[in-house]
Structure 1
Amino acid sequence: MITESIQTNELSEQLIDKLNKKTAVIGVIGLGYVGLPLAVEKAKAGYKVIGFDVQEKKIDMVNSGFNYIGDVVDEDLRFMVENGQLRATSDYSFISEVDAVAICVPTPLDVYQQPDTSYVESSTKEISRFLHKGMLVVLESTTYPGTTEELVKPILEATGLTCGTDFFLAYSPERVDPGNKSFNTKNTPKVVGGITSACSKVAQTLYEQVLDGSVHVVSSPSVAEMEKIYENTFRHINIALANEMAVLCDRMGINVWEVIDAAKSKPYGFMAFYPGPGLGGHCIPVDPFYLTWKAREFNYHTRLIELAGEINNSMPEFVVQKIGEILNRQKKAINGAVVYLLGVAYKKDIDDYRESPVLKIIEELEERGATVWISDTHIQNFKANGKPYECIGLTEERVAEADITVITTDHTGFDYEMIGRASKSLFDTRNGMKNYDKPDNYYLL
């Protein structure tokens, strides 16, 4: 036991020294919305970085210095690649060359609303093939509490190496908020929870060398995993409250946006959340259900989380219902109407449409016989419900021709003055027209 303790200190101190001197080689598995920004920041911090992905298209784009993620500065990626700081590969044998590796792969829900950890599991198995002494492994993918200790650790220890003694393992949740102008990968505070104190210290050292944001160390990976779920569940539930208020205010003839603006004038005890056509993105619609699934293991039913999910998931249908009501006032039915949706991205000024509520709105409208047009300032082509779609250019002629125009994503690039002027009827689900003159045929969620 004394020998193991000495070895642990020696290996951790050796890795900490390499991290501090920037001589460590860093790996990032998964070059998507989380992994690529992280890989670029680690390269900018002075480390040699190897990015791993199974998609050859992404690998070719990275190695060509071609950026495909909105939160990455094109010039940063190109400079890091051209200077040999960053390269991408699908050959996992290069993990044998890295001193620390971060797992940034998707953790979706399956068709039964249960966690799909297959990407985490397969990535961990690839790492285990080339795991070596003195190596740090950090899971960043959002997942249920217990994943690091119950899934990742046993796979790595099946190699015969011991966690905390031969290698180091920690969980540090990603906190990427696509399109956020104030906070990004570089300056957002980090949470780290290691299997042992040595694991935490090594992971803390890495992130302190890379990021400007503070590093908050917690006692275990499970605390860090639960922290991330709690963050997004907090938003999930409060958005559901805002959506329920919007539905009620609609029935009562009250402007919910004015209500929220009035409420947020209170300097304490209130945080503003806003309604919309539904939830989208890679976190908020998904992460709370990881906790719901895990809670069943402890014979606990997360009633509030599931109710919030029902409310948020009902919003696309509510939007379609309102579109039908507005068209009825023109003596038109949804069947045969031209409905012009402005925005398919799940939030403003980004090109990400994963889990976007607009996809459900499109499906509902088409099932009712509507012709759906879509414009988006950040997306040209996308797939919804297994079908390819192409966004069209936003013109005054098209707005004037449509039976109803619906603001589903409030991109700043839309010409709202023209939209208000030209629309036969205008339904605003995002309060995108708040700073513009409203036409007589204007309807606000």
Structure 2
Amino acid sequence: MSIKEKLANKTATLGVVGLGYVGLPLAVEKAKAGYKTIGFDVQDSKVDMVNRGENYIGDVVNEDLESIVKSGLLGATNDFSQVAKADCIGICVPTPLDEHQQPDTKYIEESARSIVPYMHKDMLIVLESTTYPGTTEELLKPILETSGLKCGVDFFLAFSPERVDPGNLIYKTKNTPKVVGGITEQCTEVASALYENILEASIHKVSSPAIAEMEKILENTYRNINIGLVNELAILSNKMGINLWEVIDAAKSKPYGFQAFYPGPGLGGHCIPLDPYYLSWKAREYGFHTSMIEASMMINDRMPEYCAERASKILNKYKKSVNGSKVLILGVTYKQDMSDYRESPAIKVINELEHEGANVVYYDSFVPEYTVGGKTKKGEESLTASLVENVDLVIITTAHKDVDYSFVQQNAKFIFDTKNATKDVISKENIELL
């Protein structure tokens, strides 16, 4: 029986390597679609939690995970010999930057080498990790072919970029359109058949993995550049005494030709702050410098420092130096109403202020404590009037909806709002916007 036939009659066994923000939701959807699914992860804690039906990802419904684990459709393991039982493997591992801001592909390489001893004919492997154009064909394919199997003949290989927007209430893994690009046309067809049987969204086929890889980079670089534009305009508008948030509201009244992007303390999450670096690194191979992209990256990367400088100027108005001042940060996640603090600019703002001698505390109901670079910081247990009254400055770095900003305004000496969270607060005499 061919792999396409197994996918059609749901006798195929599916695997997912990496059970994080991308991998676990994908594994859940595969199991919910009726496929026996095996999740692979090197972290024992994740494996154990999945096998107990305990969810740790915000975009996964607790009851869904518990149900499919109990039914036997989903199980997790750190034993890669179980790859031999799978007909399809999705690789959903991190692709961070190294200390030189260059792509670090070690997790992709390690995953591939763990798969190789257990590969078999008619197997489909799909890379979903965001990476630079050429990774699937130039890096992954040669490693997999050390198995003795030939890509496009004995096994199928494709790239299909993850499109996960944590906290999005409308678009989830299940209903977000999928882009698929295989090494060969047949690779594309087999990979498309996989997603057609799992998702409720359309499948967009492209001619190669490199097209799909570049497509993902384009998505996030587009956002990076436009956010860099409004961040630069925020800096200029402050000098000119202009409220940029009102400017953006006015501009988005135009029904065509404009999409609203908003300034903030920097970029967070795994994709948007990192992806442009993949492209600029790869571009150097061709003697090309991505000047516009690099300029936006420089602006966005500097925003936490700029916000700390603005905070210093605000304190100076009250004859307070940063050194020795007590500052309350509201929100440390990179996005509102969720617990993900990867690459969060709020934490970078905290680090900048602490470096200057400020006593920084934070409140975030989604993150009671965080650990970055081996350093753990605990948040305040509750947002009380006493807490707000006894700090020299409140800085809003994440606009969580569970915070009563009118209450904060009434009790704070001064507020620096980097997210326009106080838009609906009536009294604004002690509020300064980014």
- Give TM-score scaled by structure 1 length: 0.96
Instruction: Give me the whole-angstrom Cα distance separating, in 2, the residues matched to 1:420 and 1:200.
Output: 55
Alignment correspondent of 1:306: 294
Letter paired with 2:428: P
The partner residue of 2:252 within 246, 249, 264 is 264
Q: Which amino acid aligns with 2:168?
A: N
Name the count of aligned residue pairs.
433
Contact kept in structure 2, 1:429 and 1:444, CA below 8 Å: yes
Alignment of 1:238-387 (within 5 A): 238-387=226-375
* Corresponding residue of 1:442: 431
Q: What is the one-letter code of the residue matched to 1:354?
A: R
Return the offset for 1:157: 1.1
Measured on the aligned residues, the alpha-carbon RMSD in Å equals 0.9
**Which residue does 1:3 correspond to in 2?**
none
Task: Return the match for 1:431 from 417, 420, 423.
Answer: 420
The Cα shift of 1:436 comes to 2.1
CA deviation profile, 1:57-90 (whole Å, cap 9, x unmatched): 0011110111000000111101111110100000
2:166 corresponds in structure 1 to 178
Match of 1:134 among 122, 137, 155: 122
Residue 439 of structure 1, CA deviation = 3.3
Pair 1:57 & 2:45 matched: yes
Question: Aligned AA for 2:412?
Answer: S
Tell me, what secondary structure is at the counterpart of 1:87? strand
SS at match of 2:144: helix
Identify the range of structure 1 (55-64 vs 392-401) with the bigger mean alpha-carbon deviation.
392-401
d(CA) in 2 for partners of 1:136, 1:435:
52
List aligned pairs for 1:405-424, cutoff 5 A.
405-424=394-413
Q: Which blocks of at least 5 consecutive residues in structure 2 are unaligned? A: none
* Secondary structure at 1:148 match in 2: helix
Once residues 129 and 65 of structure 2 are traced to their aligned partners in structure 1, the CA distance between those partners, rounded to angstroms, is 22
Partner of 2:386: 397
Match of 1:290, SS state, is: helix
Decide which of 192, 202, 210 is 1:204's aligned counterpart: 192
Q: Work out whether 1:23 is the aligned partner of 2:11.
A: yes
Query: Partner letter of residue 402 of structure 1?
Result: V
Q: Is the 8 A contact 1:171 1:224 kept in 2?
A: yes
Given that residues 334 and 368 in structure 1 are in contact (C-alpha distance below 8 angstroms), is that contact kept between their aligned partners in structure 2? Answer: yes
What is the one-letter code of the residue matched to 2:236? L
**Is residue 2:69 matched to residue 1:81?**
yes
Q: Secondary structure of the equivalent of 1:210?
A: coil
- 1:9-58: CA deviation from partner (whole Å, max 9, x where unpaired): xx7xx111110111110000000000000000111111110000000000
Secondary structure of 1:238's counterpart equals helix
Q: CA deviation at 1:385?
A: 4.2
Amino acid at match of 2:419: R
Rounded to whole Å, the distance in 2 between the matches of 1:418 and 1:397 is 12
Rounded Cα–Cα distance in structure 2 between residues aligned with 1:435 and 1:41: 39
- 1:426 and 1:345 map into 2 onto residues whose CA distance is 19
Instruction: Tell me which stretches of 4 or more aligned residues in structure 1 moved more than 4 Å.
Output: none
Equivalent residue number for residue 6 of structure 1: none
Q: What amino acid maps onto 1:422 in structure 2?
A: N
Do the aligned partners of 1:236 and 1:308 also contact (CA within 8 Å) in 2? yes
Give, in whole Å, the separation in 2 of the partners of 1:385 and 1:36. Answer: 25
- The residue type paired with residue 16 of structure 1 is K
Instruction: Give the gaps of 5 or more residues in structure 1.
Output: 1-10
* TM-score scaled by length of structure 2: 0.99
Offset from partner CA, 1:370-396 (integer Å, 9 cap, x none): 110111121111123431101112112
Q: Is the 8 A contact 1:431 1:444 kept in 2?
A: yes
Residue in structure 2 matched with residue 8 of structure 1 by the alignment: none
Identity of aligned residues (%): 59
Structure 1 residue identity aligned to 2:248? I
Does the CA contact (< 8 Å) of 1:104 and 1:140 recur in 2? yes
Amino acid at match of 1:411: H
Instruction: Tell me what 2:112 maps to.
Output: 124
Question: Which secondary structure state, in structure 2, belongs to the residue aligned with residue 379 of structure 1?
Answer: coil
Matched residue of 2:75: which SS?
Answer: strand
* Offset, 1:337: 0.7
Matched residue type, 1:418:
F
List per-residue Cα deviations over 1:207-245 (Å, max 9, x = no partner).
011111110000000000000001000000000001001
Residue identity matched to 2:349: I
Q: SS state of the match for residue 15, structure 2?
A: strand
